[in-house]
């Protein structure tokens, strides 16, 4: 990575991300605090651990609306 000497690129170890959950592995059917997985971002790949889940938004086929759960304990795929 190339950056300016006067304005060094900031570094972080914690960030907030929004993700779409499509399918989980059979041996790990839910995501909760402490879940270990691999993050891929362009050419960068690293092992990460989920620190917390802020909210879950699910589409309801019955009502046709998006339901929001503000304090989920886990996430699962259908």
Q: Where are the domains of the chain?
A: 30-76
Cα–Cα dist 64/29, whole Å: 25
Place of tokens 């499509």: 22
Q: What confidence tens digit (pLDDT) does each residue in 4-47 have? A: 888 888 888 888 888 888 888 888 889 999 999 888 888 889 99
Predicted pLDDT of residue 1? 66
Predicted pLDDT of residue 78? 66
Helices (H) and strands (E) in the chain, counts: 0, 6
Cα–Cα dist 66/35, whole Å: 25
Record the pTM. Answer: 0.67
Predicted pLDDT of residue 33? 92
Listed residue (5, 2, 26, 9) closest to 77, CA to CA = 26
First-to-last C-alpha distance (Å) of the chain: 40
């Amino acid at each position: 990575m190339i950056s300016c000497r006067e304005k060094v690129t900031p570094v972080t170890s914690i960030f907030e991300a929004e993700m779409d959950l499509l399918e989980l592995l059979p041996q790990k059917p839910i995501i909760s605090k402490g879940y270990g997985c691999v993050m891929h971002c362009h050419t960068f790949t690293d092992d990460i651990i989920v620190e917390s889940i802020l909210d879950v938004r699910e589409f309801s086929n019955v009502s046709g609306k998006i339901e929001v759960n503000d304090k989920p304990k886990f996430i699962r795929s259908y």
